[in-house]
């Protein structure tokens, strides 16, 4: 298994632009999580899905952030418009019930 696949690995964008981060979970995993990591705040849970349904999005910082999971093999996290304070590493993770999380390699986002 290729693990959790995230793209792109790095993204540099200008303030105000739309950014879309992508995640392919491990086949058969029924839960998907989006985390954000910064030096100041550490790892923060943004949103998680169970069986493609968003369960808890209380960690999404603002309405500028949105996430979708149209099917079991794909999820996106979109920021529109992006701001410099959104600069962080964004991780996607998936999990099968009763088992630990598997994280992707992350997307390093820089908003200038």
Residues in the chain: 112
Question: Binder to another protein among 12, 15, 43, 112 (CB under 8 A)?
Answer: 43
Q: Of 55, 61, 84, 110, which lies in the binding site for another protein, with binding defined by CB under 8 A?
A: 55
What does the block give as tokens for 65? 């952030």
Pairing of strands 88-95, 107-111: antiparallel
Q: Which of residues 69-108 bind another protein (CB under 8 A)?
A: 91, 93, 97-98, 100-106
Dihedral pair phi/psi, residue 94, rounded to 5°: -130, 160
Supply the minimum distance, in Å, between the C-beta of residue 81 and another protein.
Answer: 27
Number of residues that bind another protein (CB under 8 A): 22
Instruction: Please report whether residue 49 would count as binding another protein according to CB under 8 A.
Output: no
Q: How far is Cα 112 from Cα 99, in angstroms, rounded to an integer?
A: 38
| Residue 28 near another protein by CB under 8 A | no
37 CB burial (10 A radius; 0-12, 13-18, 19+)? middle
Give me the residues that bind another protein (CB under 8 A), please: 4, 31, 33, 35, 42-43, 45, 48, 50, 55-56, 91, 93, 97-98, 100-106
């Amino acid at each position: 298994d290729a693990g959790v696949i995230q793209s792109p690995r790095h993204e540099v964008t200008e303030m105000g632009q739309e950014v879309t981060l992508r995640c392919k979970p491990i086949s058969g995993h029924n839960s998907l999580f989006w985390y954000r990591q910064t030096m100041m705040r550490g790892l923060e849970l943004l949103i998680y899905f169970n069986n493609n349904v968003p369960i808890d999005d209380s960690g999404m910082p603002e309405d500028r952030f949105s996430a979708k999971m149209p099917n079991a093999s794909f999820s996106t996290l979109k920021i529109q418009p992006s701001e410099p304070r959104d600069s962080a590493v964004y991780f996607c993770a998936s999990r099968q019930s009763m088992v630990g999380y598997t994280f992707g390699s992350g997307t390093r986002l820089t908003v200038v």
